[in-house]
Every structure is written in C-alpha cells, then in structure tokens.
Amino acid sequence: MIRAEGAHAASYRRIAAQAGVGLGSMTYYFPDLEGLIVTAFQTLRGEMEPRYAAPIRRASTVEDVVDVLASATVGATSPSASDVRLYTELYHYAARSPRAADLIRALQEESLTVLRTRLSDDAARAVDALMWGWWSYRSFHQDVPLDEDMVRRAYRALLDLPTIVAPPRQELHHA
C-alpha cells in the first residue's frame, strides 16, 4: 500500500483491507499508525545485502569496488524505480517521524559498515552519500538516465582521493 500510494495514504483501515486482516488485529499489533508505517519501511533493510553488501565483501581491487558501486547505482543490482520511490518516501516520512529517522540512520550505518570493509571512513561516507543522492536523482529524473561511465568515473575519483588523517587533538594543560 505504501509502495503504491505513499505513506500519506496509509491508514489502519486501508492497510488492513489490503492485507486481508481485521482492523482489530492491526490496532492490536500496532498501537499507533507511525509504528505500523515504520515497520513496513523496515522491510528495506534486507535489500542491501544482495544489492551490494555481499558483492563489496567479494571485491578484491579498487576496480572491483567501482564495478559493484556502479552496478548498485545504475546496473544489474540497482534498485528499481519503485524501490527508489519507496526510499524517497521513507526519507520524506522521516522528516516528521523520529522512528523513521532512526531507521534511516540504521540503514546508513549498515551501509557504511559494509563500505568500510573496503574503503576508508571518509571514502565510505562520500560513496554512500553519492549513491543515495543518485538514487534520489533517478526518482525525479526518470527520463534522463544516469550515464554508467560518468558514474564509474565519479566513484573512481572519490576512491582516488588521498585520505587525510587529522592530527590528534592536543589537550591544553593548565599550570
């Protein structure tokens, strides 16, 4: 229901009807509508593993990593237009839902944990933000597909940036 019509259209009655369950069951298991909607969005968590978590773990070179990232952005393992709309819906819902915002932070942290197995923290955060940004771009520009070569060059450029390690902070000693 949320995938087809958006979170704004969700109600206990509509979700119960689509799921073929009684309204009482919905309110029993989900005392508030926000909890029901966030639970529905949590199904997105399982989609990251096949999309790029497992392929990233198998990547042994920078070029392998670029291949995985490009595929997850615009290739065979990239999310469908429907999936991207759902991700965008989650982001919009999270602007007013602390529980949905917590879910986004958890999804981002899971993504970063996977990326950090092959990338520095800085590169992982930059790659993650770029990928989510491109997915969001795709949802609003379906008539202008992303060029795979451009995507590869952008990821490669991020991965080629030198990692700058900040010097440790020195504590001031007062006499």
**What would the pLDDT profile of 26-60 be if each residue is shown by its tens digit?**
888 888 988 888 888 888 877 766 777 889 999 99
Work out the average pLDDT over 52-70: 92
Q: What's the first-to-final CA gap in the chain, in angstroms?
A: 66
Higher-confidence position of 40 and 167: 40
CA distance 43 to 54: 18
Residue type, 37: I
| Contacts of residue 166, Cβ cutoff 8 Å, sequence gap at least 6 | none
Chain mean position to CA 110: 9
Residue 172 pLDDT greater than 60, yes or no: no
pLDDT of residue 119: 92
Fold type of domain 34-158? Tetracycline Repressor; domain 2 (1.10.357)
Closest CA to 86 of 20, 16, 138, 17: 138
Q: Do 137 and 146 contact (CB within 8 A), yes or no?
A: yes
Tokens of 72: 């997850």
Give pLDDT tens digits for 7-25. Answer: 888 888 888 888 899 988 8
The SS3 of residue 130 is: helix
Chain mean position to CA 52: 11
pLDDT of residue 127: 95
pLDDT of residue 36: 86
Residue 173 pLDDT greater than 60, yes or no: no
pLDDT of residue 63: 94
Secondary structure element (H or E) that encloses residue 11, with its range: none
Give pLDDT tens digits for 89-143. Answer: 999 999 999 999 999 999 999 999 999 999 999 999 999 999 999 998 988 898 9
pTM: 0.79
